[in-house]
Structure formats: structure tokens, C-alpha cells
Amino acid sequence: MGGAFSGSALPVDADGQPCNGANAIAINIFFTYHHEIPRIAAETEVECQYMCSSTDGIHFTKPQMIIDREADDFGVDFRDSKIDVTALRGVEGVEEGSSFISIATNLPAGFDNGYFSEAQGVRAFDVESMTPAGHWFTESAWDSADCEKWTASTEIVPVIAGYIASPGSDLGKPESWTYSGALLAEYEYGVAKTYECPDTFELDGRKVSIAALMHVRDSRGAFQPVNWYVGNIVQQGTQDAPLLRLNVQSRGLCDFGSAFYAVQSFEDERGRRIAVGWLVDWYGQRRKSTSASNGAMTFPRELHIVDGTLRSYPVQEIFDYAVKDKLSTADADSPYYARIELDADSKEVKSDFDVILAEKGDASVHLERRDGVIGISIRGTGMDALFYSTHVDSVHTVEIFMDGTVLEVFINKGEDAGSFIFDAPGQLTQSVTFLESFDFTISAGIKLAAIRELKNVH
């Protein structure tokens, strides 16, 4: 059986070179080809990178392989090719205008002779050293830390492999692409099987990589968290034999929610870096089958780096076209946008509270403060024990986009974000009630500053 895993796209001009979309005559599609013989040994699996082109978005040229696995020690997971033309801007020893492809894979622990592991403070390749406190390896979103079904491997570590194409080269030919080494290796979360869906780009004068950690649950119970890394790319090789490394200066989670995955970004014609994530149904709230490959996409989010951290906030177009007129509590069947302001000067503002944002059948989604920490909980779906909390200590503003059974939350205008699928398993035909339980008489330090109709987007 065969298939295509996630990839990316690039507008090109008449010469096949990257260009602004307004000047493009075609679009190049980069993707991972996956082939395997089911129920046979894993050695039958093959993953490599292909490219095809289209001038109308409907008909495509025959896909051509452009990047094969670099060596036998690369993981069978060798996927999710993401091309970007901003990632190598200003990198010493790299031609301006070079294209860069990030690929998710894994390599043997220690391949880098301590370059990444020492920077991350990992001195031994064992489960304790390669698992942050409260995290654990699992192949299921449901399995607890004490589940003995899964065994983590510390013999391999997640890696973002890099490939460079010089300006003017034919991006559809394998000889145009040169391996530039492991851009990043993850030892701190080394128990993860591999990265997935990597993305590398320049933003606000810094270099950013984003990637999901496969088969890990974090201390809150979130499955396969998506991490961001901010730093600088340095050249340790030569132009003929490049070796590019991302020197990470800060890192964090892209989203504190339960359903955010496979985020990809692009630079628009105005120079904005815009990201869209996949709202995956890890916890089986919606799906009727065993496949998690459904869900929805997040709102487009504009990215920025502020004080060394990655921030994301809905693009202005969401406010222009999706956020509508004021609502009253009588409009109990309408998706809504709400802005909640917390008075930092109030002595009561840090008191705990619990507000129902929406209900459906036996399920409900809540905005809470527990022990002084703001977060989201979902009840009646089997997720009752989980509390998805923001990392932000001083929360001034919480913006809620409650769109059907999709919830997106933004803290302090993008200082943190959380994405959730909310539904009632076995009660999919029941309607959602939004505002009947929407009560903000919580404490003197909390104010419902705005409540507006939200046009259904998800």
C-alpha cells in the first residue's frame, strides 16, 4: 500500500524559481511518499520526498523523487517535507536565495558527538535523563504514565534533517538538493519516537523551527505536543559540504490545548508569517471509526517573536469577517467570541472559578482557574481528569472563540493559545448550547468585556 504524508507548496515563476504568488505561473507541491507491505516486517516501509507541479491547481505533473533517505542509520520515519525560502536568509556561508527543506526523522543517540545533548543538559542516554519531569512515552492519547504496554527507546533521538537547493537550481531534480546535516536533535524529550511535521523559517530577525514530538504525553496529559525553538542557524561546514545547526536560545509549546497538531506556516504577500494547525481528534470525541485522521483546522494565526518567545494570534481577517454583532444571553444557540478581562489590581482576581463555555448532551467545556492557574477542562467525554493550563502566570485577557464544537482560546493577545475539540461521544446529533450557562458573576476582578456572534468558520 502507498500514500502521501503531509508536505508543503511553493509558488514558482516561468523559470521554476520561488516567487510571490501574484507573479507565479505554477505551484510546486512537496510531499512524502510512503510505501509498505501491510502485516509484513517494518523493513518493507519506505519514505522519501517527491515533487510535482500544477499550473491550474487541478492537474499535476508526474511526481518525481527529489530526496531519498540519506543513510541507513536514518529512521524509517523520514517524512513531512516542508520547503521555505526564508529560513537561510543571512546565514553565513549560504548563498542568498537558497531554498531549505526540513524533514522529520530520527538518528542514533550520540550521532552529534554531544553538540545537541550537552546544550540541552543531557549527560546520559537513558529514560530518566531523556524524559522531562511528568512526561512519558506512549503510543496512545489515553494511556497513563504507569501503562506497561509501551517501551521507550533511548537509542534514537528525534531529528530535523535539512536540505539546501541553491538559487536558480531545478527544485524538481534530486541533484539540486544537498544534505546539510541535522538542523536540530531533541535529547531533552529523547524518548519521543521522532519529530513530525517540521517547519523552519525566519521571523522577526530570528530563526524558528517548529515540530511535533511523536508518542509523548506531557505532564498535563496532552498527547504529542508541538514545540517551537528560537535561535540562530550557524554554518559549521563548507558551501560544498554544508553542516547547518540551529543554536536554540529559547523553546516552548505552540499551543496548550488538547487537539493542536501538524502546524504549518507561510509568509504572505504582506510579509506576515501565518500558521494553521490541524485540530486532530486524539480523544475520539467526534469520530465513528478508529481513525483519528479527521477534525478541522485552526484559525489562521499571525506569528511573532516577543522577548524570545513565539506568540500566535488570529489574523485580523478573523475579526473583520468572522466576529459579528453583539449577543445577549438570550441567543443561546449561537457560536460566539468573548473577551474576558481580569483586573490585576484586584485582590479577588486570583480566586478560583469555573465557567461553562458550552454544553452538548452529557459533555461540557469549562474555563477554570485552579489554584491560581487558568486553563480549560472538558467533562463528560472521558477527559475529565485532564486540565489544560496556560504557562502564563499573569493573565490579563482571555479571548474565547467558541465555534460549534471547536474552541480556540488566546491569552494576553497571543502570549499563549489553546485549541480544543469539544463533542459528546455517542451524542453527535445533539445541538450545542452556548450561552445559557455563560455566567460571569464570578468575582469583582473579572469582567466580560465583549460578547459577539461568531460566524461558523471551522
Cα Rg for the chain, rounded, in angstroms? 23
Name the nearest CA neighbour of 360 among 285, 281, 258: 285
What the block records as the C-alpha cell of 195 is 519529530
pLDDT tens, residue order, the chain (458 aa)? 345 567 899 999 999 999 998 899 999 999 998 877 665 655 667 899 999 999 998 999 999 999 998 888 898 899 999 999 999 999 998 999 999 999 999 999 999 999 999 999 999 999 999 998 888 888 888 887 777 778 888 999 999 999 999 999 999 999 999 999 999 999 999 999 999 999 999 999 999 999 999 999 988 878 999 999 999 999 987 777 789 999 999 999 999 999 999 999 999 989 999 999 999 888 877 765 555 556 689 999 999 999 999 999 999 999 999 998 887 655 656 789 999 988 755 555 567 888 888 888 888 899 998 988 999 999 988 888 899 999 998 999 999 999 888 999 999 999 999 999 888 776 656 677 766 555 555 555 678 888 888 887 76
Give the closest residue to 403 by CA, choosing from 312, 279, 301, 284. 279
Predicted confidence at residue 36, as pLDDT, reads: 72
The closest alpha carbon to 104, from 39, 154, 47, 173, belongs to 47
Residues 6+ apart with CB under 8 A from 206: 230, 231, 232, 305
348, amino acid identity:
E
What pLDDT is stored for residue 324 in this prediction?
A: 87
pTM of the model: 0.93
One-letter amino acid at 249 equals Q
Q: Is 376 exposed, middle or buried (0-12, 13-18, 19+ CB in 10 A)?
A: buried
Q: Please list, in sequence order, all residues whose beta carbon lies within 8 angstroms of the beta carbon of residue 171, skipping any fewer than 6 positions away.
A: 10, 12, 16, 28, 51, 66, 83, 99, 165
Rounded distance, CA 199 to CA 104, Å?
A: 9
In angstroms, the Cα distances linking 178 to 59, 120, 166, 201 are: 29, 27, 9, 18
- According to DSSP, residue 126 is labeled S
Task: Identify the H or E element spanning 318.
Answer: helix 316-321
d(CA 256, CA 55): 39
The SS3 of residue 116 is: helix
Domain ranges of the chain: 3-253, 320-454
* Residue 419 CB contacts under 8 Å (≥ 6 apart), including other chains: 255, 257, 258, 259, 260, 277, 279, 298, 406, 407, 408, 409
CATH fold for domain 3-253? Tachylectin-2; Chain A (2.115.10)
Identical fold at 3-253 and 320-454?
Answer: no
Under CATH, to which class is 320-454 assigned? mainly beta
- Those residues with Cβ within 8 angstroms of residue 328's Cβ, 6 or more apart along the chain or in another chain: none
Predicted local distance difference test score (pLDDT) of residue 1:
39
All three cell numbers of 393? 502566570
